[in-house]
Amino acid sequence: MMPQFLPGATIGVMGGGQLGRMFAMAARRMGYRVHVFTPEENSPAGQLADATTTASYADEEAVGRFARQLDVLTFEFENIPAQTIDWCAALCVVRPAGAILNTAQNRLREKTFLSEGNLPVASFRAVRSAAELAAALDQIGRPAILKSASFGYDGKGQRRIFAQENVDEIWAARPGDELILERAVDFEKEVSVLVARGADGSSSTFPVCENVHRHHILDVTSVPAKIEPAVEKNAALLARTIAEQLDLVGLLAVEMFLRSDGELLVNELAPRPHNSGHWSIEGCATSQFEQQVRAVCGLPLGATEILQPTAMANLLGDAWQNGEPHWARALGTPGVHLHLYGKREPRPGRKMGHLTATASSADAAVRKVLEARAALGDARS
């Protein structure tokens, strides 16, 4: 029998951000104890956990003390050092496995894994020198995107390369040390699929999410996505196949590009809850966070049917530029919900919270959530 962890058990979470915060709410509602490990004081997740260990991921003693108190460990952040996960795996069950985080935390490993599994990705090359960059640009073509292989998020560590640019100048301003060059995909839409997989191999996908980014940061997600049924099916199949090939136990987000001919290309994997899945708290029979609890604890996976068309709009620190947003104004519309992550400092570009709106159609939900955000006095919306 695969280990099963029933309510009353202690779930550890590596990472202290908003994904861990919403996970903690779902897990505690179900009767679990949640213990967060994060280097950050007063973290969004720590504020809602039963216990927090505030220490460095490199502190073996603190990691050991933390892991010994757990039944099962999961993640809300994938950039956890492999060594830290190994220390934990010696002391408790770790789901998903460290090897999956290792694949997902490096774009070269991730893209190599996908292409070796015959999963569709944009052409890419590893780039270690100006000469390799020149050769890769010749092979892949322009426009292309040069990305740092690790530690990128919200478009950080990326640079788009246009037709005329000089290779030596690009190399001099390269966005990191270990680099990957990708063909810039001419996509019609960006979509994502969340898939959960249990220790028994059962899996379940969430409805496809349609995502609009602004300045490389997710801005608005709406569901159902306006795509052909065949694309919806194919996207779900891709996500399920990736989860199987990874031998995932837990939750995985798969970001994809949809081209105008209906072709899907996989962009990024995240073996944890995802910003594009936040709509599921209000819009889906089971939220992505409850599904993560179920998957890592060995419980049956929850139903994932959409309850109502739903849209989610992120609230970045920019919304605070003229002072505290007008919360009451945004909440006057029926079907609008507010989520704030307990972050004190509203820096520009920092994810501070999100709004969700449910409505009779995805378009109506998007209109409603954007109106609600505009009502906050957010200059960006």
Ligand X SMILES: Nc1ncnc2c1ncn2[C@@H]1O[C@H](COP(=O)(O)OP(=O)(O)O)[C@@H](O)[C@H]1O
- The site string for ligand X over 185-204 (x = CB under 6 A, - otherwise) reads x----x--------------
Q: Give whole-number Cα distances, 351 to 219, 317, 320, 339, 343, in Å.
A: 10, 6, 12, 11, 9
Residue choice 16, 152, 250, 325 for contact with ligand X (CB under 6 A): 152
Number of residues engaging ligand X in binding (CB under 6 A)? 15
Residue choice 268, 282, 318, 378 for contact with Mg ion (CB under 5 A): 268
Judge residue 165's burial from the number of C-beta atoms within 10 Å of its C-beta, 0-12 exposed, 13-18 middle, 19 or more buried. middle
Residue 76 or 255: the one with the smaller Cβ distance to Mg ion is 255
Asked if residue 372 lies in contact with residue 206, where contact means CB atoms within 8 angstroms, the answer is no
Could you tell which of ligand X, Mg ion, none binds residue 145, using a CB distance below 5 to 8 A set by kind?
A: ligand X
| Residues β-bridged to residue 35 | 12, 51
Residue 36 or 266: the one with the smaller Cβ distance to Mg ion is 266
Residue 255 or 378: the one with the smaller Cβ distance to Mg ion is 255
Using rule CB under 5 A, residue 110 touches Mg ion: no
Asked if residue 39 lies in contact with residue 26, where contact means CB atoms within 8 angstroms, the answer is no
Residue choice 70, 122, 227, 352 for contact with ligand X (CB under 6 A): 122
Select the residue whose beta carbon is closest to Mg ion and give its number.
Answer: 268
> Which phi and psi angles does 267 have, rounded to 5°?
-100, -55
Query: Reduced to 3 states, what is the DSSP secondary structure of residue 84?
Result: helix
Q: Give min distance, CB of 74 to Mg ion, in A.
A: 20
Residue 238 or 372: the one with the smaller Cβ distance to ligand X is 238
Q: Give min distance, CB of 179 to ligand X, in A.
A: 13
Gyration radius of the chain's alpha carbons = 21
Residue 153 or 162: the one with the smaller Cβ distance to ligand X is 153
Using rule CB under 6 A, residue 216 touches ligand X: yes
> Which phi and psi angles does 63 have, rounded to 5°?
-65, -45
Q: Give min distance, CB of 145 to ligand X, in A.
A: 5
Residue 185 or 362: the one with the smaller Cβ distance to ligand X is 185
User: CA-CA distance, 110 to 236, in Å (whole number)?
Assistant: 19
- Applying CB under 6 A, the span of 77-85, 180-188, 194-202, 286-294 interacting with ligand X comes to 180-188
Q: Give the DSSP letter string of 28-75.
A: HHTT-EEEEEESSTT-TTGGGSSEEEE--TT-HHHHHHHHTT-SEEEE
- Applying CB under 6 A, the span of 109-117, 147-155, 221-229, 313-321 interacting with ligand X comes to 147-155
| Nearest alpha-carbon partner for 118 in 274, 260, 294, 237 | 237
Judge residue 276's burial from the number of C-beta atoms within 10 Å of its C-beta, 0-12 exposed, 13-18 middle, 19 or more buried. buried
Using rule CB under 5 A, residue 378 touches Mg ion: no
- Applying CB under 6 A, the span of 108-116, 152-160, 173-181, 275-283 interacting with ligand X comes to 152-160
Q: Which of residues 246-285 bind ligand X (CB under 6 A)?
A: 255, 267-268
User: CA-CA distance, 30 to 291, in Å (whole number)?
Assistant: 11
Q: Give the DSSP letter string of 214-235.
A: ETTEEEEEEES-SS-HHHHHHH
The binding site for Mg ion (CB under 5 A) comprises: 255, 268
The binding site for ligand X (CB under 6 A) comprises: 122, 145, 152-155, 182, 184-185, 190, 213, 216, 255, 267-268
